[in-house]
């Protein structure tokens, strides 16, 4: 008898268009590079066009496909217009995010509204806009929001940030249920603390660094490269049966 072996689904993304938001630095830039390396045509989006164009130039110099798109997810109406005119996109990675940390008893209304405006409202309507384009085109897709381990736990001075990321997990599950029949998968990636420009103030605080290293079971903080493989996996056919869930890249933080 000749045994027919199963075949691993492809991690390659040739023929796919990807939109990566918050792509001018940090996790977003890493995600854009990862998708481009896997063969996708990647559109990098962020508020700062100058930094985006520098990122696009570097990716193109590496022989990969990239273009820049100015986009501010805090303006939901404008975001929907831009996505509708530029899409459809087979893949979304939303890495746009904001944090204004501080004690809960001192949270300013303006800070609360700003963080909610980007992390919940912006993420929600961006995800919906990309899904609308796919549904109209009758195409499947993979939509990924960069969430956080703080979507599953709490943290000192992080009440607002944690609340927004818990919300992202909630709408991700609901959207996954609604759009599953159209072949649209919706998931999150939940990193631990990653060394990026956004986290520099945290890593400048020795007490915070001590707390972080005590929580991460692998004994080190994450680098952008640690997130890149997870992005490629969720974007590709290798994760074709995964939707409505979170991939925790947290070094074991939330395990116990």
Residues carrying an active site annotation: 161, 165
CA-wise closest residue to 246 among 108, 178, 146: 146
Q: From CA 144, how far away is CA 93, in angstroms rounded?
A: 5
User: What number of residues does the chain have?
Assistant: 256
| Cα–Cα–Cα angle for 169, 114, 225, rounded to 5 degrees | 55
Q: From CA 34, how far away is CA 29, in angstroms rounded?
A: 9
Burial of 130 (0-12, 13-18, 19+ CB in 10 A): buried
Residue 251 Cα to chain centre, angstroms: 18
In sequence order, the 6+-apart residues with CB closer than 8 A to the CB of 97 are 22, 118, 119, 146, 198
Element (H, E) at 114: helix 109-116
CA distance readout (Å), 168 to 42, 164, 229, 241: 24, 6, 21, 20
CA-wise closest residue to 93 among 128, 55, 144, 132: 144
* Ordered alpha helix ranges (H), 180-248: 200-203, 206-215, 225-235
């Amino acid at each position: 008898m000749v045994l027919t072996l199963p075949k691993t689904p492809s991690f390659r993304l040739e023929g796919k268009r990807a939109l990566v938001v918050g792509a001018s630095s940090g996790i977003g830039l890493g995600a854009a590079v990862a998708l481009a390396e896997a063969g996708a045509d990647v559109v990098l989006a962020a508020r700062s066009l100058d930094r985006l164009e520098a990122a696009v130039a570097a990716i193109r110099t590496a022989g990969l496909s990239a273009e820049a798109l100015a986009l501010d997810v805090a303006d939901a109406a404008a975001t929907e217009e831009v996505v509708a005119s530029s899409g459809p996109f087979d893949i979304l990675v939303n890495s746009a995010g904001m944090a204004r940390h501080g004690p809960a008893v001192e949270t300013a209304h303006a800070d609360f509204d700003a963080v909610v405006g980007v992390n919940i409202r912006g993420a929600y309507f961006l995800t919906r806009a990309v899904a609308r384009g796919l549904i109209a085109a009758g195409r499947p897709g993979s939509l990924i929001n960069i969430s956080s381990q703080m979507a599953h736990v709490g943290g000192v001075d992080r009440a607002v940030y944690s609340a927004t990321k818990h919300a992202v997990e909630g709408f991700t599950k609901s959207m996954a249920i609604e759009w599953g029949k159209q072949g649209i998968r919706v998931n999150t990636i939940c990193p631990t603390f990653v060394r990026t420009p956004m986290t520099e103030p945290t890593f400048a605080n020795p007490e915070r660094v001590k707390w972080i290293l005590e929580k991460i079971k692998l004994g080190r903080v994450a680098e952008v490269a640690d997130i890149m493989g997870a992005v490629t996996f969720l974007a590709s056919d290798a994760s074709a049966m995964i939707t409505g869930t979170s991939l925790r890249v947290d070094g074991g933080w939330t395990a116990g």
